[in-house]
């Protein structure tokens, strides 16, 4: 379900497009005000919507409340789709440039006829923009720079964004009577942390009807290609979607083909040859005997087609154990599937019993201890580990010892009223010298200690490695939090020799967090595998700062699976008692 920020963005877009159309300024401003009210909202939006309290927010009247509720429920709005469809994609692209609101765009259109990035770029290059009222030489340079950056960075989408959109598309397609089966494929299905475009596979006996239904989907602003069985479109946010439609008998092999990765396929095809088959996007075929009549397709050695009803059947036909999509990267999974050493029980969402790494209003979370506890209980968790920030994280409302004790009192009081077990934890800052941000006397009294870096992230590699190795070598049990420090598309990982950090952790007592915040998704799969090889256990967390963010567990699970992590290696797959015993920091 779209959150506040996403809905606020949609309202702003409606306002901007209405302004471009010359709508009445009061109406335009109403959308801007609504966006601001949502951004300022402290509570969970779901609760406000469910209780019909949207109209109590400043600047939100009945009509706007209805639109917000619809956006919240469906992720879109007929008005927004209509507006997007009424403007050429090149204009929508212009509006996405920073500092180029509808007012400036109207001025550029009126004076210079600017309709696209290319128009704007040549107008700037010719020095014609600086002559307009409200623009200058400086803003001309800024626009050129913004266009250059836009060109340079091919936009990739966060896994969470891509999956949310992909799920809606699949639901839309499945609603057509012409669809027999439909699934997301590509990097989204493999759980890659970012996604270039969406790949969707459908089975149908009537591809023409199904692709027409696809083209009529709300949110489509451009058709990039349209044939009998292949259609590509672009959405207003720039995301491209490739749809392929095949008869039901070919669904499994095409789903497999489009799931990738390319590297996995290259090796799998070589393996298939050795087994007497040829594998392509058209399916699995026996290799033709010398002199026998050739089958369909372009490969001269291609013989009769093998019926493949599922991906598992495909792998088994090639003498391999079935390989889950998250593992298909050619990082040893094919050899393991052949040798029977593929991990048997990759962790699943339903294996996780405890909600770990959550923030409350005591530091920078949006929900209270009680609200978090009730939500985690309602979601079926057996325990909740609250880990608000320590004192050094002042910007995030980090707790001092006095406030920590008061939080413990509140947790004790809430514990009386709820069924779920609440564990008292901290997300302790790792200080510059590698010490933790609490004295031992306090660490020993906590149930759970996550140790993370939140400051001085730009140290050199040697210094950063020393800092983290020192922290991980401490004799208490700690969970290494968001180990790389990256924010996808915003901030690079720290310069650090991760192998040394994990070796230190293996030598002391500790676990590694798999962080489900879609901007983080620490650690990278290769480091998860490195940790597995050293018998370091894992904790799958959400880093939730709100009730809604507990849903981020999904991304922690898929990331852990990409690192081949099994249920038995996950501490919060254990019952509460055992988890608490295993993670107790006590020296």
Residues found near ligand DGT in the complex (CB under 6 A): 186-187, 192, 195-197, 199, 257-258, 260-262, 265
* 113/90 Cα distance (integer angstroms): 13
| Closer of 452 and 552 to Zn ion (Cβ) | 452
Helix H or strand E encompassing 456:
none
Shortest approach of Ca ion to residue 373 CB, angstroms? Answer: 39
Instruction: Using alpha carbons, select from 332, 327, 166, 162 the residue that is nearest to residue 261.
Output: 327
Q: In angstroms, how far is the first alpha carbon of the chain from the final one? A: 43
Query: What is the distance of C-alpha 84 from the center of its chain?
Result: 25
Picked from Ca ion, ligand DGT, Zn ion, none, the partner binding residue 361 (CB below 5 to 8 A depending on kind) is none
Q: Is residue 372 within 8 Å of 384, Cβ to Cβ?
A: yes
Taking CB positions, which residue lies at the least distance from ligand DGT?
260
Shortest approach of ligand DGT to residue 40 CB, angstroms? Answer: 35
Picked from Zn ion, ligand DGT, Ca ion, none, the partner binding residue 262 (CB below 5 to 8 A depending on kind) is ligand DGT
| Closer of 8 and 258 to ligand DGT (Cβ) | 258
| Closer of 132 and 158 to Zn ion (Cβ) | 158
Phi and psi, residue 578, nearest 5°:
-70, -40
Shortest approach of Zn ion to residue 358 CB, angstroms? Answer: 11
| Closer of 166 and 343 to Ca ion (Cβ) | 166
Picked from Ca ion, Zn ion, ligand DGT, none, the partner binding residue 452 (CB below 5 to 8 A depending on kind) is Zn ion
197 binds Ca ion (CB under 5 A): yes
To which residue do tokens 């009210």 refer?
A: 37
Shortest approach of Ca ion to residue 238 CB, angstroms? Answer: 14
Which residues on neighbouring strands pair with residue 423, listed in sequence order? 385
Picked from Zn ion, Ca ion, ligand DGT, none, the partner binding residue 545 (CB below 5 to 8 A depending on kind) is none
Name residues contacting Ca ion, limited to 204-263 (CB under 5 A): 242
Alpha helices (H) in 87-158, listed in sequence order: 89-95, 102-112, 117-125, 137-152
Rg of the Cα atoms in the chain: 27
Give the residue, chosen from 163, 188, 360, 452, that forms a contact with Zn ion under the rule CB under 5 A.
452
| Closer of 197 and 364 to Ca ion (Cβ) | 197
Alpha helices (H) in 240-394, listed in sequence order: 251-259, 262-274, 311-317, 333-339, 369-378
Shortest approach of ligand DGT to residue 259 CB, angstroms? Answer: 6
Instruction: Using alpha carbons, select from 448, 459, 446, 449 the residue that is nearest to residue 485.
Output: 459
Shortest approach of Ca ion to residue 75 CB, angstroms? Answer: 21
User: Is the alpha carbon torsion for 489, 492, 497, 502 positive or negative?
Assistant: negative
The DSSP string of 181-244 is EEEE-HHHHHT-SEESSEEEEEE-S-HHHHHHHHHTSTTEEEEEEE-SSEEEEEETTS-EEEEE
Shortest approach of ligand DGT to residue 192 CB, angstroms? Answer: 6
Q: Is residue 464 within 8 Å of 495, Cβ to Cβ?
A: yes
Q: Which of the stretches 297-305, 333-341, 447-455, 570-578 binds Zn ion when contact is defined by CB under 5 A?
A: 447-455
| Closer of 34 and 260 to ligand DGT (Cβ) | 260
| Closer of 81 and 197 to Ca ion (Cβ) | 197
Picked from Zn ion, ligand DGT, Ca ion, none, the partner binding residue 258 (CB below 5 to 8 A depending on kind) is ligand DGT
Per rule CB under 5 A, count of chain residues that contact Ca ion: 4
Helix H or strand E encompassing 246:
strand 240-246
Show the site string, 160-189: x = touches Ca ion by CB under 5 A, - = not: --------------------------x---
| Closer of 350 and 432 to Zn ion (Cβ) | 432
Taking CB positions, which residue lies at the least distance from Zn ion?
452
Instruction: Using alpha carbons, select from 505, 465, 507 the residue that is nearest to residue 484.
Output: 465
Tokens of 93: 């692209």
| Closer of 279 and 384 to ligand DGT (Cβ) | 279
| Closer of 196 and 297 to ligand DGT (Cβ) | 196
| Closer of 260 and 354 to ligand DGT (Cβ) | 260
To which residue do tokens 């009807």 refer?
A: 209
To which residue do tokens 């099994």 refer?
A: 566
Instruction: Using alpha carbons, select from 486, 478, 544 the residue that is nearest to residue 508.
Output: 478
329 binds Ca ion (CB under 5 A): no
* 274/281 Cα distance (integer angstroms): 18
Shortest approach of ligand DGT to residue 278 CB, angstroms? Answer: 13
To which residue do tokens 């002559």 refer?
A: 131
Picked from Ca ion, ligand DGT, Zn ion, none, the partner binding residue 437 (CB below 5 to 8 A depending on kind) is none
191: left (phi over 0), alpha (psi -120 to 50) or beta: left
Picked from ligand DGT, Ca ion, Zn ion, none, the partner binding residue 299 (CB below 5 to 8 A depending on kind) is none
Shortest approach of Ca ion to residue 200 CB, angstroms? Answer: 9
Which spans of this chain sit near Zn ion (rule: CB under 5 A)?
Answer: 452
Please give the residue ranges that form the binding site for Ca ion (CB under 5 A): 186, 197, 199, 242
């Amino acid at each position: 379900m779209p959150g506040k920020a996403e809905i606020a963005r949609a309202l702003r877009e409606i306002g901007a497009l209405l302004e471009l159309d010359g709508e009445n300024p009061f109406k335009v401003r109403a959308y801007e005000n609504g966006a601001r009210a949502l951004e300022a909202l402290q509570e969970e939006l779901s609760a406000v919507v469910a209780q019909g309290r949207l109209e109590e927010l400043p600047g939100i009247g009945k009509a706007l409340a209805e639109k917000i509720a619809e956006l919240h429920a469906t992720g879109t709005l007929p008005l927004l789709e209509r507006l997007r469809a009424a403007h050429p994609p090149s204009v929508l692209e212009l509006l996405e440039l920073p500092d180029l609101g509808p007012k400036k765009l109207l001025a550029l259109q009126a004076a210079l006829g600017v309709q696209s990035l290319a128009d704007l770029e040549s107008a700037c290059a010719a020095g014609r923009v600086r002559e307009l009222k409200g623009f200058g030489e400086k803003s001309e340079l800024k626009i050129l720079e913004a266009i250059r950056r836009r060109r340079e960075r091919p936009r990739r989408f966060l896994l969470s964004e891509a999956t949310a959109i992909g799920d809606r598309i699949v639901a839309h397609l499945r609603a057509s009577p012409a669809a027999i089966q439909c699934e997301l494929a590509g990097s989204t299905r493999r759980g890659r942390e970012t996604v270039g475009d969406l790949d969707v596979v459908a089975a149908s006996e009537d591809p023409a009807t199904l692709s027409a239904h696809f083209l009529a989907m709300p949110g489509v602003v451009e058709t990039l290609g349209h044939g009998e069985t292949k259609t590509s479109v672009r959405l207003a946010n720039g995301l491209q979607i490739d749809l392929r439609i095949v008869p039901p008998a070919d669904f499994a092999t095409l789903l497999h083909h489009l799931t990738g990765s390319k590297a996995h396929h290259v090796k799998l095809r070589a393996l298939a040859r050795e087994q007497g088959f040829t594998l392509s996007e058209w399916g699995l075929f026996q290799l033709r005997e010398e002199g026998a009549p050739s089958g369909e397709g372009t490969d001269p050695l291609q013989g009769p087609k093998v019926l493949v009803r599922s991906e598992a059947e495909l792998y088994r036909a090639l003498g391999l154990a079935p390989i889950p999509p998250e593992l298909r990267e050619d990082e040893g999974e094919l050899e393991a599937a052949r040798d029977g050493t593929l991990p048997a029980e990759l962790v699943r969402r339903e294996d996780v019993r405890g909600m770990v790494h959550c923030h409350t209003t005591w530091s920078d979370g949006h929900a209270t201890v009680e609200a978090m506890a009730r939500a985690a209980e309602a979601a079926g968790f057996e325990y909740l580990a609250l880990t608000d920030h320590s004192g050094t994280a002042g910007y995030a409302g980090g707790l001092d010892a006095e406030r920590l004790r008061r939080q413990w009192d509140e947790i004790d009081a809430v514990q009386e009223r709820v069924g779920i077990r609440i564990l008292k934890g901290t997300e302790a800052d790792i200080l510059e010298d590698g010490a933790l941000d609490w004295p031992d006397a306090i660490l020993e009294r906590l149930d759970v200690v996550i140790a993370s870096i939140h400051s001085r992230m730009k140290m050199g590699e040697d210094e950063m490695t020393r800092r983290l190795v020192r922290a991980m070598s401490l004799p208490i049990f700690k969970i290494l939090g968001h180990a790389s420090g990256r924010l996808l598309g915003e901030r690079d990982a720290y310069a650090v020799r991760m192998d040394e950090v994990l070796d230190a952790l293996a030598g002391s007592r500790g676990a590694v967090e798999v962080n489900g915040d879609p901007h983080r998704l620490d650690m990278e799969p290769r480091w998860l595998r490195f940790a597995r090889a050293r018998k370091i256990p894992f904790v799958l967390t959400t880093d939730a700062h709100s009730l809604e963010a507990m849903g981020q567990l999904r991304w922690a699970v898929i990331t852990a699976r990409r690192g081949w992590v099994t249920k038995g290696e996950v501490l919060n797959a254990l019952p509460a008692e055992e988890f608490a015993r295993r993670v107790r920091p006590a020296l």
